[in-house]
Amino acid sequence: MMVLQVLCESDTVDHNPQDVLSRMIAEDSVGKDSENFAQQLVHKVLENIHELDNIIEAYATTWPVSQMPIVDKNLLRMAIAEMQFGLGTPQGAIVNEVVEIARFFGSESSPGFINGVLGSLLDR
């Protein structure tokens, strides 16, 4: 959830993502493993954002990334980055976790939309 919040804040108010992440880590007193994972995932998303957006557009053909709700777009970026760049989490677990986060932070249609896009990606 922290990575989602960092990416959304960065997208909406153009704050430096590393500064946002550092602030959130300090405020939430997360463990070292969680801190390292969050830093790696934020870095992988930002480093590969154009590639991730191209993948999203290839599998979410009815929604251009520029028109997607910010939560959905960043959840997809996170999940695909984690799948593509192997941060050690099984793909099924990634999908389940992102869909659960979408239930909490997204719209009513977010979980189904995200599950569909990621399912299509995994089926390829």
In sequence order, what are the residues at sequence separation of 6 or more whose Cβ sits closer than 8 angstroms to the Cβ of residue 35? 25
Domain that holds residue 94: 2-123
In sequence order, what are the residues at sequence separation of 6 or more whose Cβ sits closer than 8 angstroms to the Cβ of residue 7? 17, 42, 45, 74, 77, 78
Rounded to 10 deg, the angle between the 70-84 and 32-47 helix axes is 100
User: What pLDDT is recorded for position 75?
Assistant: 98
Residue 56: give its domain's CATH number. 1.10.940.10
Assessment of whether the complete model's pTM goes beyond 0.85: yes
Q: How many domains does the chain have?
A: 1
User: What pLDDT is recorded for position 124?
Assistant: 80
pLDDT digit of tens for each residue in the chain (124 aa)? Answer: 899 999 999 989 988 898 999 888 888 877 888 889 999 999 999 999 999 999 999 999 888 999 999 999 999 999 999 998 876 788 999 999 999 999 999 999 999 999 999 999 998 8
